[in-house]
């Protein structure tokens, strides 16, 4: 039986490797055609949210997947990006792209400020501190009445515009904007990981002490990972906010559940896998929506799927297959990363 499973996995690996370009081409056609084939506005709104979560997953993957730092407060950076861009757009009349840049930069700066003291600790302590940060951000936004309008939120958020055309879910503009952003951010993440900085990050994750002895500036690269991860979370927040009419810092929007959910997506997609994070986010976010008709049983089924996915995720055969398909990290890459100078 085990031999049959290995043969099946081997055959699947050969098929995907030989037909990789064709498979990606088919996927591209499906993604482009999707909004024209599916006319359900609710479904397209859900897909837009999935795209925002996918960008957030890509950002968290840089911090957790490649640097080995676990953050449970990334929802805070999403909220910072969302509120910064929304307030600039509503109160000062900023257009979407300058507001998005501002939201990204503010999230990155706060990421550095949070990272400076917290990176002195690791493991569980870092996770607890980041969790506290996320909750503090949510409470500040909920109670800062004069600036954020408290629990009533930021209202009448304008939709993004390009050449005077509003990008909404109804005209598929928001869908393609988020899709393009996912592609660009994925390419950025890939370029980052293949760069000198990316090799240093992987070395730090593999062996922090050895990386220090090789001359890598640990604090510098950890802060770099923290700031980039926070910036991408800010971008996700900006897109999330501009897909809404009213933005509120309620627990269901920016609570710790969001941070934990994204961490689950990253882990199940494969630590250090760019494509895996995106695919895992799509499947696991969409699954409860597809099971909505089952009412009380849908969350039970969802929990069972998560457990099975976690068990399947730890199988040696699946780990090998995932690395080949999703482009996960190969251990030997990290071994050479220490040769890079900080």
Q: Please check the confidence at residue 159 and state whether its pLDDT lies above 90.
A: no
Hey, which of 19-23, 228-232, 272-276, 277-281 has the most confident mean pLDDT?
Answer: 228-232
| C-alpha 194, offset from chain centre | 19
| In-domain check, residue 61 | yes
Q: Could you tell me the two tokens for 20?
A: 């990789």
pLDDT tier at 234, thresholds 50, 70, 90 = very high
| In-domain check, residue 28 | no
Q: Please check the confidence at residue 166 and state whether its pLDDT lies above 80.
A: yes
The number of residues in the chain equals: 342
| In-domain check, residue 251 | yes
pLDDT tier at 15, thresholds 50, 70, 90 = low
Q: Please check the confidence at residue 171 and state whether its pLDDT lies above 80.
A: yes
Q: Please check the confidence at residue 14 and state whether its pLDDT lies above 90.
A: no
Query: What percent of the chain is predicted at pLDDT more than 90?
Result: 17
Q: Please check the confidence at residue 18 and state whether its pLDDT lies above 70.
A: no
Which pLDDT belongs to residue 340?
41
Domain of 209 in residue numbering reads as 40-255
* Alpha carbon distance 211, 201 (integer Å): 9
Question: What is the per-residue pLDDT across 81-105, written as a single tens digit (0 to 9) for each?
Answer: 999 999 999 888 898 899 999 999 9
pLDDT tier at 1, thresholds 50, 70, 90 = very low
Question: What is the per-residue pLDDT across 303-341, written as a single tens digit (0 to 9) for each?
Answer: 777 677 666 665 555 656 555 555 544 444 444 444 444
Which pLDDT belongs to residue 338?
41
| In-domain check, residue 163 | yes
Q: Please check the confidence at residue 211 and state whether its pLDDT lies above 60.
A: yes
pLDDT tier at 109, thresholds 50, 70, 90 = very high
- Residue entry with tokens 């009380």: 296
Which pLDDT belongs to residue 230?
93
* Alpha carbon distance 320, 322 (integer Å): 6
State the chain's mean pLDDT as an integer.
79
Which pLDDT belongs to residue 148?
81
DSSP collapsed to 3 states, 100-136: HHHHHHHHHHHHHHHHHHHCCCCHHHHHHHHHHHHHH
Q: Identify which has the larger pLDDT, 61 or 118.
A: 61
User: How many structural domains comprise the chain?
Assistant: 1
pLDDT tier at 63, thresholds 50, 70, 90 = confident
Q: Please check the confidence at residue 8 and state whether its pLDDT lies above 80.
A: no
Which pLDDT belongs to residue 217?
85
| In-domain check, residue 247 | yes
Which pLDDT belongs to residue 334?
40
Which of 220, 241, 223 has its CA nearest to residue 55?
Answer: 241
Mean pLDDT, range 270-295, rounded to an integer: 78
| In-domain check, residue 190 | yes
Question: Using CB atoms within 10 A of its CB, is residue 186 exposed (0-12), middle (13-18) or buried (19+)?
Answer: middle
Mean pLDDT, range 234-239, rounded to an integer: 92
Q: Identify which has the larger pLDDT, 75 or 150.
A: 75
| In-domain check, residue 52 | yes
Question: What is the per-residue pLDDT across 237-262, written as a single tens digit (0 to 9) for each?
Answer: 999 888 887 777 666 678 777 888 88
């Amino acid at each position: 039986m085990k031999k049959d499973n290995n043969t099946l996995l081997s055959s699947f690996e050969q098929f995907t490797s030989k037909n990789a370009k064709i498979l990606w081409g088919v996927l591209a056609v499906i993604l482009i055609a999707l909004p024209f084939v599916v006319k359900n506005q609710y479904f397209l709104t859900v897909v837009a949210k999935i795209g925002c979560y996918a960008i957030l997953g890509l950002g968290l993957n840089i911090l957790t997947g490649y640097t080995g730092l676990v953050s449970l407060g990334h929802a805070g950076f999403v909220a910072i990006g969302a509120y910064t861009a929304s307030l600039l757009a509503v109160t000062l009349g900023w257009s979407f792209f300058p507001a998005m840049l501002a939201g990204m930069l503010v999230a990155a700066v706060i990421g550095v400020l949070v990272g400076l003291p917290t990176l002195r600790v690791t493991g569980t302590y870092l996770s607890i501190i980041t969790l506290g940060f996320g909750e503090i951000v949510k409470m500040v936004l909920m109670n800062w009445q004069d600036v954020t309008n408290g629990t009533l939120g930021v209202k009448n958020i304008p939709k993004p515009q390009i050449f005077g055309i509003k990008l909404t879910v109804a005209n598929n503009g928001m869908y393609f904007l988020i899709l393009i952003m996912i592609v660009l951010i994925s390419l950025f993440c890939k370029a980052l990981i293949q760069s000198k900085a990316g090799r240093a990050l992987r070395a730090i994750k593999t062996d922090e002490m050895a990386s220090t002895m090789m001359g890598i500036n640990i604090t510098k690269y950890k802060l770099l990972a923290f700031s980039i991860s926070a910036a991408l979370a800010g971008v996700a927040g900006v897109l999330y906010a501009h897909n809404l009419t009213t933005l509120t810092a309620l627990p269901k929007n920016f609570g710790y559940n969001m941070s934990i959910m994204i961490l689950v997506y990253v882990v199940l997609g494969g630590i250090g896998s760019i494509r895996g994070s995106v695919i895992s986010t799509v499947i696991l976010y969409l699954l409860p929506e597809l099971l909505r008709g089952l009412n009380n049983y849908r969350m039970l089924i969802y929990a069972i799927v998560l457990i099975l996915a976690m068990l399947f995720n730890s199988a040696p055969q699946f780990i090998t297959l995932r690395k080949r398909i999703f482009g996960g990290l190969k251990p030997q890459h990290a071994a050479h990363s220490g040769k890079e100078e900080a």
